[in-house]
Amino acid sequence: MTRRSACLLSAVVVTCAMTVWSASGQTLPREPHTFLSNHIGFTDTELRDVEQGRVITKVLETGVKTEVAVFGVVWINASIEDFVRWQTDIENFEKGDAVMAIQKISNPPKLADFETLTLPEKDLNAIPKCRVGKCDVKIDDEALARLQGGIDWSAPDAHDQANQLIRQMMLEGTERYLENGDHLLGTYRDKKRPLFLDQEFDGLLENSPFLIEYIPEFYRYLDDYPNADLPGADEFLYWSKVQFGLRPTVRMNHVVMYGFGQEERVAVIIGSKMLYASHYFHTALELKALVKDTAKPDTEGFYLMSLNRSRSDGLTGLFGGIVRSKGQSGSEKALAGALESAREVLEGS
């Protein structure tokens, strides 16, 4: 098992433990309570609050100054299948005032998937002035050279030309990722030191504190992607342009959903990996676990647990501590809002 495999699905420990203990003939510990207590540090009071329907979130220690990790959980009185259907409809799942544009990628991807993608004017104005090691847009040196050399930036339609080329480059990058996986994600050259995205993602996973292997086929799939199989999984890629911080940010994500159980889909794991962000983020991984309460297995409803890890700019240096504290607070608040929104949508459907 690789280090990425060991860390990837930490949030799923609770559901897998159900199977392990049942097979051994021992009395089952109550889950996800045991997981929340032993691995996330929930107190008895917090566990009771979760049972009573409160949204509970926590900031987790990471050991890396550029990384922020937050965990949250809520009980939702709806079916797991309802949540999966909603997540699959990503355009509605992520809609909101901050989402300026969003599009699910076809299988296989096509140029039309990116026809509404445009970079903000500020980013387009920055590209001709960019240099390796100094750029206001996250970009690798090959893409920068292609944009600077392939566009007549003095032309009246320069921005239209640039957006057309960017759409083509996004399509090509998507195809490379689908064929070759993480190691072709590229290297950001917007700062003094190059940032290797595959290494950043490895490091992000390496810092996940739960190193137990419970669903090896899912570990293997995400670790060896695309050179592994995961029968029964659903997956898709999508891009979005969102208002984040001080400027709109273009992102690309890969979502994998995997349901497992002996006779029916009793639990689902959803992993969403950020492949690209034009600003702020180096990389990010969101893990969702949708699991039943072992104390009331016949009751409709499930616990939605979410673990969000991200690495970002500006969290080190003289003012890094202040920025990091604000980032943690903002991420925790955003996660609490997302969990509450999920409950409202599903229980109201």
Instruction: Indicate the burial class of 193 (C-beta count within 10 angstroms; 0-12, 13-18, 19 or more).
Output: exposed
CA 118 to CA 120: how far, in whole Å? Answer: 6
CA 135 to CA 100: how far, in whole Å? Answer: 23
CA 114 to CA 277: how far, in whole Å? Answer: 15
Q: pTM value? A: 0.85
Query: Contact 144/136 with Cβ under 8 angstroms?
Result: no
Which amino acid belongs to residue 188? Y
Hey, what domains does the chain have and what are their CATH numbers? 3-109+193-348 (3.30.530.20)
CA 100 to CA 166: how far, in whole Å? Answer: 18
What pLDDT is stored for residue 120 in this prediction?
A: 94
Number of H helices, E strands in the chain: 12, 10
3-state secondary structure of 276: strand
The sign of the CA dihedral 36, 39, 41, 44 is positive
What pLDDT is stored for residue 188 in this prediction?
A: 62
pLDDT in tens, 215-269: 777 777 877 889 889 899 999 999 999 988 778 999 999 999 998 754 444 689 8
CA 249 to CA 120: how far, in whole Å? Answer: 8
- Tell me which residues of the chain have a pLDDT lower than 50: 1-25, 209, 211-213, 262-265, 319
Taking the CB of residue 348, how many other CB atoms lie within 10 A of it?
7
Q: Is the peptide bond before 108 cis (omega within 30 degrees of 0)?
A: yes
Question: What is the distance between the terminal CA atoms of the chain, rounded to a whole angstrom?
Answer: 41
